C-alpha cells in the first residue's frame, strides 16, 4: 500500500458510507469538458481567415474549410481508436488515472493546437487538437462508464444516461464559451483563436480535475442499501461475466456494433443537413414571400435539435431501465423508420411544425442510442470489463462519422445534379436512412443471450483487467 500512487485504483476504493450520488458529477465533469469537440465548428470561419482577418474574404494562404474539417475528423477517429485500445488499461488502472490522462491529453491538445494556430502550421493543429486531444476524448468518454454501472446496478441506464448526457451538453458550453473568448481576444491575436485555445485548454484541464479527484470505485462486495438483485430470470440480463477479448468473438458484440453504427449513421443524416434542409424545404419560394425559414431561424432549429439530443440521452436511457434495452432499441429503430420516411412527406406538404417535432424526436433517439448502449453491453456481457467492451464498440461511432456524411453528401449532390430542389433534394437521404435503420432493427432483433462458453470461469476482481 505504501508504494501505491494516489492515482491507483486501490486508492480510489470508497469507504463505508460513501454517497454514490457524488459519482455522476465526477463523470459529468469529464463529459461536459470533452463534449466540447462537437462545438469545434465554431472555430471553422475564424481558423479559415487567420491571414486575411476577414471571415468573409479568406486570403489565398488561409486554411480551407476542408483542411480545417480534417482536424475534427482526426479527433473523432482517435476517439474510437483510443477508446478501443485503452479500454483494458482503464479497467486495470481504474478511472482516476484514466481521467487524469484524458484531462492532460484533452487540455494539452488545445495548448499544442494553439501553437499550431500561432505558427499557422496546420500539421501542429492536427497533432494537437486532433491526435492528442482525440486520445483524450476516447479515454475520457469511457473512463466513468464501468464505474457508474458498478455504483448503480439498480439503475444502469439512469447512471450512464447522466454521464453521456454531459457529452451532449459539452457542446452547448463549448460553443458560447469559444465565441465569448474569441471576442475578448480578437484585438490581441488573429481572430483571437490562439489565445482562446490556450484559455480553453487550461479551463478544461482544471475543470476535469474535479472528476479526477472525486471519482471513487465501490468495494468488490458493495451493494446499494436495500438492493436485492432480481431473482426473476431474465435471459437478456446476464449474471455472468465476459472479458473484452472474448466479447469481440461473440456475434452479440458485432450485432450491437451494427446497432450503434446504424443508429448513429442515420442520426448524422439529420444533423449534417439540419440547417440547409429546413431553409431549402421551407424557403420563401415555397412558403411565400417573407414566410420562409431564415438563416437565424435555421440556427435556432439546430439549437433545438441539440437540446433534444441532450434530453434524449437521459430520457431514453432511463426509460430503458424499465422497458429493457432490446425493446428500447426496437423503439429507436421501429419509430425511427416511420419518422425518417415521414420527413420528406412533411417537407412536400410544408408542415413546418410537424417537421420540427419529428426531427426533435428523431434526434432524441439518436442521443438515446449513445446513452443506452453501455447498459445494453453490461446486460449482455456483465460489468467485469464493460468499459473496455464499450471502448471497442465505439469504433462503430468512428465508422458512422465517416459513413453518415458520405451517404448524405453523395445522395444530396446527386439529387441536385438531377435538378431537384427543396424537400425533393433531400428525400432520398431520408429514405436511405430509413433503410439503414431497417438493418439496425434486424441486428437488434437478432441479439440473443451470450453462450456460456464465453463466460469467465470463477470469480473476477475489479483489477482483473490486467490478466
Partner 1 sequence: MTTPANSSAPHVEEPAVGGSAIIAWLYVGIPLAWGVSQTFIKALALFK
> Which residues contribute to the site for partner 1 (CB under 8 A)?
1, 4, 8-10, 13, 15-22, 25-26, 28-29, 32, 166, 169-176, 207, 210, 214, 218-225, 293, 296-301, 303-304, 306-307, 310, 356, 461-463
The least distance separating partner 1 from the CB of residue 21, rounded to whole angstroms, comes to 5
- CA-CA distance, 246 to 319, in Å (whole number)? 29
If the CB atoms of residues 146 and 328 are measured against partner 1, the closer one turns out to be 146
The least distance separating partner 1 from the CB of residue 188, rounded to whole angstroms, comes to 24
The least distance separating partner 1 from the CB of residue 467, rounded to whole angstroms, comes to 13
If the CB atoms of residues 207 and 431 are measured against partner 1, the closer one turns out to be 207
C-alpha cell at 295: 438563416
The least distance separating partner 1 from the CB of residue 263, rounded to whole angstroms, comes to 23
The least distance separating partner 1 from the CB of residue 227, rounded to whole angstroms, comes to 9
The least distance separating partner 1 from the CB of residue 175, rounded to whole angstroms, comes to 8
Q: Which of 91, 89, 90, 132 is nearest to 108 (CA)?
A: 132
- Asked whether 206 and 17 are in contact (CB, 8 A), the reply is no
Q: Which of 36, 51, 47, 100 is nearest to 69 (CA)?
A: 47
The least distance separating partner 1 from the CB of residue 229, rounded to whole angstroms, comes to 16
Buried b (16+ CB within 10 A) or exposed e, 228-238: eeeeeeeeebb
The least distance separating partner 1 from the CB of residue 211, rounded to whole angstroms, comes to 9
If the CB atoms of residues 39 and 407 are measured against partner 1, the closer one turns out to be 39
If the CB atoms of residues 356 and 393 are measured against partner 1, the closer one turns out to be 356
The least distance separating partner 1 from the CB of residue 366, rounded to whole angstroms, comes to 16
If the CB atoms of residues 364 and 432 are measured against partner 1, the closer one turns out to be 364
If the CB atoms of residues 1 and 235 are measured against partner 1, the closer one turns out to be 1
If the CB atoms of residues 76 and 356 are measured against partner 1, the closer one turns out to be 356
The least distance separating partner 1 from the CB of residue 317, rounded to whole angstroms, comes to 17
If the CB atoms of residues 251 and 288 are measured against partner 1, the closer one turns out to be 288
Place of cell 475564424: 46
If the CB atoms of residues 21 and 123 are measured against partner 1, the closer one turns out to be 21
- Asked whether 213 and 115 are in contact (CB, 8 A), the reply is no
The least distance separating partner 1 from the CB of residue 421, rounded to whole angstroms, comes to 22
If the CB atoms of residues 36 and 252 are measured against partner 1, the closer one turns out to be 36
If the CB atoms of residues 72 and 167 are measured against partner 1, the closer one turns out to be 167
If the CB atoms of residues 4 and 413 are measured against partner 1, the closer one turns out to be 4
* Beta carbons within 10 angstroms of residue 151's beta carbon: 25
Q: Which of 109, 165, 97 is nearest to 136 (CA)?
A: 109
For the chain, the distance separating the N- and C-terminal CA atoms, rounded to the nearest angstrom, is 21
The least distance separating partner 1 from the CB of residue 310, rounded to whole angstroms, comes to 7
C-alpha cell at 227: 438492493
Amino acid at each position: 500500500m505504501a508504494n501505491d500512487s494516489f492515482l491507483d485504483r486501490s486508492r480510489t476504493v470508497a469507504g463505508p458510507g460513501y454517497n454514490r450520488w457524488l459519482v455522476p458529477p465526477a463523470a459529468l465533469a469529464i463529459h461536459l469538458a470533452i463534449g466540447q469537440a462537437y462545438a469545434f465548428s465554431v472555430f471553422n470561419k475564424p481558423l479559415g481567415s487567420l491571414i486575411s482577418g476577414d471571415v468573409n474574404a479568406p486570403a489565398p494562404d488561409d486554411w480551407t474549410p476542408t483542411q480545417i474539417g480534417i482536424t475534427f475528423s482526426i479527433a473523432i477517429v482517435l476517439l474510437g481508436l483510443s477508446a478501443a485500445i485503452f479500454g483494458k488499461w482503464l479497467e486495470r488502472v481504474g478511472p482516476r488515472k484514466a481521467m487524469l490522462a484524458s484531462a492532460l491529453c484533452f487540455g494539452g491538445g488545445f495548448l499544442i493546437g494553439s501553437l499550431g494556430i500561432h505558427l499557422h502550421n496546420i500539421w501542429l493543429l492536427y497533432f494537437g487538437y486532433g491526435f492528442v486531444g482525440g486520445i483524450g476524448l476516447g479515454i475520457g468518454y469511457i473512463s466513468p462508464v464501468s464505474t457508474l454501472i458498478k455504483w448503480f446496478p439498480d439503475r444502469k441506464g439512469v447512471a450512464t444516461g447522466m454521464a453521456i448526457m454531459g457529452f451532449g451538453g459539452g457542446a452547448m458550453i463549448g460553443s458560447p464559451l469559444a465565441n465569448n473568448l474569441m471576442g475578448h481576444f480578437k484585438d490581441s491575436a488573429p481572430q483571437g483563436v490562439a489565445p482562446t485555445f490556450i484559455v480553453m485548454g487550461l479551463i478544461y484541464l482544471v475543470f476535469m480535475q474535479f472528476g479526477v479527484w472525486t471519482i471513487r470505485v465501490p468495494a468488490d462486495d458493495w451493494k446499494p442499501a436495500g438492493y436485492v438483485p432480481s431473482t426473476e430470470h431474465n435471459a437478456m440480463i446476464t449474471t455472468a461475466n465476459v472479458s473484452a477479448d472474448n466479447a469481440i468473438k461473440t456475434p452479440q458484440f458485432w450485432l450491437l456494433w451494427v446497432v450503434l453504427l446504424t443508429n448513429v449513421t442515420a442520426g448524422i443524416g439529420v444533423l449534417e443537413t439540419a440547417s440547409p434542409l429546413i431553409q431549402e424545404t421551407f424557403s420563401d419560394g415555397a412558403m411565400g414571400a417573407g414566410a420562409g425559414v431564415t438563416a437565424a431561424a435555421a440556427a435556432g432549429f439546430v439549437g433545438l435539435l441539440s437540446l433534444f439530443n441532450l434530453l434524449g440521452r437521459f430520457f431514453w436511457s432511463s426509460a430503458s431501465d424499465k422497458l429493457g434495452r432490446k425493446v428500447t432499441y426496437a423503439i429507436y429503430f421501429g419509430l425511427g423508420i416511420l419518422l425518417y420516411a415521414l420527413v420528406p412527406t412533411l417537407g412536400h406538404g410544408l408542415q413546418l411544425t410537424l417537421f420540427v417535432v419529428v426531427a426533435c424526436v428523431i434526434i432524441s433517439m439518436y442521443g438515446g442510442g449513445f446513452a443506452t448502449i453501455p447498459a445494453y453491453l453490461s446486460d449482455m456481457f456483465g460489468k467485469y470489463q464493460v468499459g473496455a467492451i464499450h471502448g471497442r464498440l465505439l469504433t462503430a461511432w468512428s465508422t458512422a462519422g465517416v459513413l453518415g456524411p458520405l451517404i448524405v453528401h453523395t445522395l444530396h449532390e446527386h439529387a441536385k445534379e438531377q435538378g431537384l430542389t427543396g424537400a425533393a433534394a433531400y428525400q432520398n437521404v431520408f429514405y436511405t436512412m430509413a433503410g439503414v435503420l431497417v438493418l439496425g432493427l434486424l441486428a437488434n432483433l437478432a441479439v440473443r443471450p451470450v453462450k456460456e462458453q464465453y463466460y469467465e470461469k470463477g470469480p473476477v476482481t475489479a483489477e482483473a483487467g490486467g490478466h
